[in-house]
Structure 1
Amino acid sequence: MRRPDMFKLLHLSDLHLTPPGVALHGLRPDMQLECCVSDILVDHADADLCVVTGDLTHDGLPLAYHEVRRQLMRLPMPVHVMIGNHDDRTAFRSVFPEACAADGFVHQVIDTDAGRMVLLDTHEPGSAGGRLCEVRLAWLRARLAESGSDPVYLFTHHPPVRVGLQRMDAICLRDAEALMAALLPFRERIRHLFFGHLHRAVSGTRRGLPFSGVRGTSHQIALDFTTPHVAPVSFETPGYGVVFIDTDSIVVHHAEIKPQR
């Protein structure tokens, strides 16, 4: 449960769903997500909002997106989904048309009691790394400028920071400096950066802005700082973030997915 004066946010990422029944790395991503949703229903159904920061599917197949939608609809709180490098924007739009802006990108603004949540599309077709073109950066600057004095929380799939995992650093957000340039004029109001992609719980700061990433609900990436060209798959426990926000603090907990009860 949460204190009544706190905003409770759930941060999920990297579902990597395949069509129902199809295994990935020896796991069933659909069953992993089902366990995650069931865990939330037991322990965190009181959350105010859930954001899923991309890689909803592994191969961008429509059947997988339909399964993502079916499972996430079980959650009682508003759920907002983003895309990552494993997704396909066209297939995604056919199943989640409400998540797409007029310019065709999957970005949106959610105004909440805790402030403005800005969900930014970093997907670049044909690339494992992320990109922010000038169209998306202009959209972001406009949303920041119009938000007045409200606190702002930014969500991306790709991390705008290198974390020491060589293969993942090679495919992080390549326009990270341009993103920082857009954010820094508003730094007093930007409270936190949330991202996925790494399949690991990670936190820190960049240019004084705090950030956190979460485990995937599917497989994980090993804590391997030496392997340069592959991202070694790890079978550590999947998880998600449970975030408590009030006027003077943000606390990010990392929940482990327990077996279905």
Structure 2
Amino acid sequence: MKFIHLSDTHLLPKSETIIGIDACDRLEVAVESISRDFSDAAFCIITGDLTDRGDPQSYREFIRILDRLPIPWYALMGNHDERHVAKEELPDLPWCSDGYLYYEFATEVGQFVVLDSLVDMDTSYLSKEQLDWLDGCLARARAAQKSVYLFVHHVSFDIGIPWLDEQYNMNNGDELGAILKKHNNVRHLFCGHVHRPIHGSWQGIPFSTVRSTCHQVALKLTGEKVIFTDEPPSYAVVLLRDNRVVIHDHNFLGEQIEFPDY
């Protein structure tokens, strides 16, 4: 099975920019690339920060652009999102009765589980109700001998970029880790938030993050200030087959010159 992982689209009302970058234009190019090259993917999932300020117009732009995809799409909340506005503008997403956006869906390769770590711009946390729900999801999947693929905006661990590690890690990542360790059936953890392509393992579980479709965070492993850059954006093409997880980070901006006779 193939799916597309997008993140941190940071949309603003049309004509507004972030460090000179038009986030809407960038997302439109990403959607065109996916539609042209990977229309056979099962779906696309966007791991949060759908908008930059959480305003209604930006969510409308998000729907306008994403609905051009020839495949279904799923979304998460990030710290730049405003849940009550998103719920009004994105009513077709599977919102919970408590107003949060956590859910699961079945695929041919296992269960996909989506978490909602948004509290506010500077705080991330998974409520007890959500953790109990996750515990139940993993227990049911284990009983059915199904693999689980987990999605959440915030990372729960240090990634080596001090500003992100000190200010923006999930506040109760240890509680999440304990539940994952208890069931031992999460095959891969997909996150957003960090605006970088990072791959590793946590609690023995492989994880990956992906670049923003808009602006990036510089790879600065020292210093207390975040530096944003105009590095090329990308999305991830994820292949799940034969007990393997293969992730291709794809730079979708600009034409690539191919040399078939080399």
TM bucket, shorter chain: over 0.9
Q: For 1:245 and 1:195, how far apart are their aligned partners in 2?
A: 17
Aligned to 2:118, the other structure's residue is in SS state: coil
How far is 1:95 from its partner?
1.4
Contact 2:10 2:49 (8 Å CA) reproduced: yes
Contact 1:198 1:215 (8 Å CA) reproduced: yes
Q: Which residue of 2 aligns with 1:234?
A: 229
Contact 1:38 1:260 (8 Å CA) reproduced: no
Please provide the CA RMSD for this pair. Answer: 1.3
Q: Which residue of 1 aligns with 2:173?
A: 176
Please tell me the residue identity of whatever aligns with 1:71.
I
Q: Which residue of 1 aligns with 2:203?
A: 207
1:143 to 137, 153, 156: 137
Q: Which residue of 2 aligns with 1:107?
A: 102
Aligned to 2:30, the other structure's residue is in SS state: helix
Q: Which residue of 1 aligns with 2:242?
A: 247
Q: For 2:227 and 2:123, how far apart are their aligned partners in 1?
A: 17
Q: Which residue of 2 aligns with 1:122?
A: 117
Q: For 2:99 and 2:247, how far apart are their aligned partners in 1?
A: 31
Normalising to structure 2: TM-score of the pair? 0.93
Name structure 1 gaps, 5 residues minimum: 1-6
Q: For 1:131 and 1:251, how far apart are their aligned partners in 2?
A: 29
Answer yes or no: is 1:185 the counterpart of 2:179: no
Q: Which residue of 2 aligns with 1:80?
A: 74
Answer yes or no: is 1:257 the counterpart of 2:248: no
Contact 1:47 1:77 (8 Å CA) reproduced: yes
Contact 1:84 1:123 (8 Å CA) reproduced: yes
Please tell me the residue identity of whatever aligns with 1:124.
V
Q: Which residue of 2 aligns with 1:4?
A: none
Please tell me the residue identity of whatever aligns with 2:203.
R
Contact 1:86 1:128 (8 Å CA) reproduced: no
How far is 1:260 from its partner?
7.5
Contact 2:7 2:47 (8 Å CA) reproduced: yes
Q: Which residue of 2 aligns with 1:158?
A: 154
Answer yes or no: is 1:217 the counterpart of 2:213: yes
1:33-81 per-position Cα deviation (integer Å, ceiling 9, x unaligned): 0111111111111101111000000000000001001100011111001
Q: Which residue of 1 aligns with 2:259?
A: none
Q: Which residue of 2 aligns with 1:57?
A: 51
Aligned to 1:37, the other structure's residue is in SS state: helix
Q: For 1:64 and 1:260, how far apart are their aligned partners in 2?
A: 27
Q: For 1:113 and 1:37, how far apart are their aligned partners in 2?
A: 24
Normalising to structure 1: TM-score of the pair? 0.94
Please tell me the residue identity of whatever aligns with 1:178.
E
2:7 to 13, 16, 33: 13
Please tell me the residue identity of whatever aligns with 1:174.
N
Aligned to 2:124, the other structure's residue is in SS state: coil
Percent of residue pairs identical: 36
Please tell me the residue identity of whatever aligns with 2:197.
A
Please tell me the residue identity of whatever aligns with 1:39.
S
1:130-164 per-position Cα deviation (integer Å, ceiling 9, x unaligned): 21121111111121122231110000000122100
